[in-house]
């Protein structure tokens, strides 16, 4: 298995545009997490899925953000009407529910909103 993959690795967009990121977890992992990381900070939890069910959302996940995992495999994170404050690294992680806290991260998508 090649680990967690994310696409794209970098995205530059203009303020007000919508963007969508994709995450492919480790194949046998049933949990998938999204985090956001800004410069000089640790990752901050946004939301997570167990299979296709979205079980938890952080207060950081404003109504402009939406995440899906329709078939319990890959996930997408969409940000609508992007703002400059959305500029960050968006990280995806996956785990097996039996060892849920051992989360394995992808390389991230670096978003820059101009």
Judged by CB under 8 A, the stretch of 11-19, 43-51, 62-70, 72-80 that binds other proteins is 43-51
- Confirm if 71 and 97 have CB atoms less than 8 A apart: no
Any idea what the Cα angle at residue 104 is, between residues 100 and 107, rounded to 5°? 150
Beta strand ranges found along 3-108 (DSSP E): 5-7, 10-13, 19-24, 31-37, 44-50, 53-57, 65-68, 75-79, 88-95, 104-105
If one asks whether residue 21 binds other proteins (CB under 8 A), the answer comes out as no
- Confirm if 46 and 31 have CB atoms less than 8 A apart: no
**Closer Cβ to other proteins, 90 or 113, answer by number:** 90
If one asks whether residue 65 binds other proteins (CB under 8 A), the answer comes out as no
If one asks whether residue 110 binds other proteins (CB under 8 A), the answer comes out as yes
Encoded tokens for 101: 């806290």
If one asks whether residue 74 binds other proteins (CB under 8 A), the answer comes out as no
Name which position in 13, 20, 58, 73 contacts other proteins (CB under 8 A): 58
If one asks whether residue 8 binds other proteins (CB under 8 A), the answer comes out as no
By CB under 8 A, name the binding residues for other proteins.
4, 31, 33, 35, 40-48, 55-56, 58, 91, 93, 99-108, 110
């Amino acid at each position: 298995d090649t680990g967690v993959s994310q696409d794209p690795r970098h995205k530059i967009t203009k303020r007000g545009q919508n963007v969508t990121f994709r995450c492919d977890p480790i194949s046998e992992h049933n949990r998938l997490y999204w985090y956001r990381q800004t410069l000089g900070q640790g990752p901050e939890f946004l939301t997570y899925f167990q299979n296709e069910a979205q079980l938890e959302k952080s207060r950081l996940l404003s109504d402009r953000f939406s995440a899906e995992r329709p078939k319990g495999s890959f996930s997408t994170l969409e940000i609508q009407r992007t703002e400059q404050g959305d500029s960050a690294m968006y990280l995806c992680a996956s785990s097996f529910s039996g060892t849920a806290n051992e989360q394995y991260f992808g390389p991230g998508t670096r978003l820059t909103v101009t």
